[in-house]
Amino acid sequence: MEVMWLYSLCECILSVSVIVVSVRLCMAVSGSNTVADVEERTGSARPQPGSVSCCLRLCLGWVGAVGGAVGVPVTVFLNLRTPQCLYTCITLVCCPLLVRQFTMFLLMLLTLDVHLQHRLADRYSSVMTRQRALCVVLLCWMGSVLSSFAQFIGSDVLDTWTSGGTGQGTAGLGLHGNWTTSLPHLTPSFPPKYHHGRKVIAKYLPYGGFLSKFYVEDMHNFTYAEIHSSHWAVCAPDAILSPQFLVYVQGMSAFILPLLCLLTIYLDLLCKSKKTSFSHADPPKHDSCRIRSLALSLSLLVLLCLPLHIIHALVLFAPKTNLPAWVHAVAMFLFQLYSLVPQILFTPPKEQVVEEQASFPLSVPHLPPAAAPWFSAKHSLKAKVCPEV
């Protein structure tokens, strides 16, 4: 019990850290975005490439802050392994998966956006706009929802759920046990009135009967446990998520796809830098910085996320492998530790924000619109009278 509470405390501290770095990202992007808006009002073309980037970074910051806030109570609740209704447990287990998947999609979008800014140069402003970026973000959100709830879309999980979670889903994780000992004491058969009082809702739809599993006309004569007794068991990720889903869906969408995307951009930048070195020209400084940043992101993705996916693959392909419980706990903590990486990588340095503010004259925003022509005429007259040498 003490180990469980210590593990929960570490996960809660990690969630709070995600909230802190996400809020810091939002504040840094908002500060730089204010300067960009001022430049846009004064006719400068500089902020146009950065507007999409600021929008994507704000999305990443908000997702991290909201996901970290939701992750604290959900983590503690799932670690308690209490018996719950199936549909309540689906929501609790899949919400962290949804936040994680959407964060990985935003990481890929931000990396691709930075790469396109330097690849397209002047054409970037016409190709990538805020409206198109928000449409892509919406598509990523829908893809995240589908991939997170893919196991439960159009399938009946009541048979595997009521079995107690002692199948392959917990094999090899050191989580064996009799889950039925903590279930509420129920009568072996439902009262006749319960059967007659149930309503079938949306019978001929794909999700027909979903609400009928726990909707009755007379709610006062039945307890919550009696109504949900047909789909009531221990609520934990290993008891509800199948190894096939973890390997083929989550492993592909949350690890393999981001890895391939980042690796493709990294190889493209590497080939470009080699061509530059062969042409006896100094490679641009921002190219080398992006290469180092991508290499760091790829390294952390492999080091922190690969151990958990290896364990999931062992559970699926070698279910007789017995691993200690602490191995899975450490791998899960490392997997959750990667949640800090996207926010830290895409938080603009404080020196960059200060430099952008210093490069823009502070007196210009305070000028009224009528004084702008006089200000430009004054500077043009000064240039004619006192030309610079």
Spatial distance between the Cα atoms of 315 and 139, rounded to a whole number of angstroms: 32
Cα–Cα distances in angstroms (integers) from residue 240 to residues 40, 155, 158, 165, 184, in the given order: 51, 13, 10, 7, 19
Spatial distance between the Cα atoms of 206 and 45, rounded to a whole number of angstroms: 51
DSSP string, 192-206: HHHHHHB---STTST
Burial class (CB in 10 A: 0-12, 13-18, 19+), 373: exposed
Contacts of 64 (CB under 8 A, 6+ apart): 18, 19, 21, 22, 25, 103, 339, 342, 343
Per-residue confidence of the chain (389 residues) as pLDDT tens digits?
Answer: 678 888 889 999 999 999 999 999 999 888 765 545 444 444 443 444 458 889 999 999 999 999 999 999 999 889 888 888 888 889 999 999 999 999 999 999 999 998 888 888 778 888 888 888 999 999 999 999 999 999 888 665 655 565 544 443 443 343 433 333 344 444 444 555 555 555 666 556 555 555 565 565 555 566 666 666 667 778 889 888 999 999 999 999 999 999 999 999 999 888 877 766 555 554 556 667 888 889 999 999 999 999 999 999 999 999 888 888 889 999 999 999 999 999 999 988 765 544 444 444 443 444 444 444 444 444 443 444 444 43
Q: What is the model's pTM?
A: 0.75
In the chain, helix, strand, coil percent, each to 5? 75, 0, 25
Three-class HEC string of 90-131: HHHHHHHHHHHHHHHHHHHHHHHHHHHHHHHHHHHHHHCCHH
pLDDT at 84: 83
Spatial distance between the Cα atoms of 361 and 355, rounded to a whole number of angstroms: 12
**Nearest alpha carbon to residue 230 among 287, 283, 269, 190:** 190
Q: What is the largest CA-CA distance in the chain?
A: 101
Spatial distance between the Cα atoms of 247 and 310, rounded to a whole number of angstroms: 9
Contacts of 44 (CB under 8 A, 6+ apart): none
pLDDT at 155: 60
pLDDT at 370: 44
Spatial distance between the Cα atoms of 59 and 343, rounded to a whole number of angstroms: 11
CB atoms within 10 A of CB 105: 26
DSSP string, 291-309: HHHHHHHHHHHHHHHHHHH
Spatial distance between the Cα atoms of 186 and 225, rounded to a whole number of angstroms: 8
3-class DSSP state of 350? helix
**Nearest alpha carbon to residue 214 among 226, 203, 205:** 226
3-class DSSP state of 216? strand
Taking the CA atoms of 155, 156, 161 and 167 in sequence, report the sign of the dihedral they define.
negative
pLDDT at 124: 83
**Nearest alpha carbon to residue 336 among 305, 295, 297:** 305
pLDDT at 119: 83
Domains parsed from the chain with CATH numbers: 2-159+236-359 (1.20.1070.10)
Burial class (CB in 10 A: 0-12, 13-18, 19+), 94: buried
